[in-house]
Every structure is written in C-alpha cells, then in structure tokens.
Amino acid sequence: MITTQSPYLLDYVEPGDVILVTKVNGETKLRRLVDTDEINVVKKYLEEGGTLGEAWFSGLMGEV
C-alpha cells in the first residue's frame, strides 16, 4: 500500500492500481479509479500523451 499526493508517483502506476480516497460528510470513502465515471476521460487523456500524474493534478480524477 502506498499513500501519496504526489502526481509524479502516479506516473509509475497503472490506472487499475489507483484508489481514490475522499471525505464525504466526515466519512472516508474509497473508490477505484477504474470504477468511476472519470476513467473514460482519464484514459482518453493518457491516449493523447498525458500522464496519470498530470490527469490527477488537473482535476480529471475529481478534487485535487
């Protein structure tokens, strides 16, 4: 398990390995990137030459 807010580290993992952690009404929520609506936008971004770290930093995976 690795936890980070580093966009650089994300460049070394696959989208299927990313679990997003958010707080909703004081409750911690976990969701796999591949199970989100954002995955299609992220995949397109990667196909166009972007990196996973850039996708996260730009907000394509939800809040930064």
Q: Give the pLDDT of residue 34.
A: 95
Phi-psi region of 59 (alpha: psi -120 to 50; beta: other; left: phi over 0): left
Strand partners, 19: 32
Q: Which two tokens stand for residue 8?
A: 């650089």
pTM, to two decimals: 0.80
Q: Give the pLDDT of residue 62.
A: 77
Q: Which of 2, 20, 17 is nearest to 63 (CA)?
A: 20
Q: pLDDT digit string (tens) for 27-51? A: 999 999 999 999 999 999 999 999 9
Q: Give the pLDDT of residue 60.
A: 93
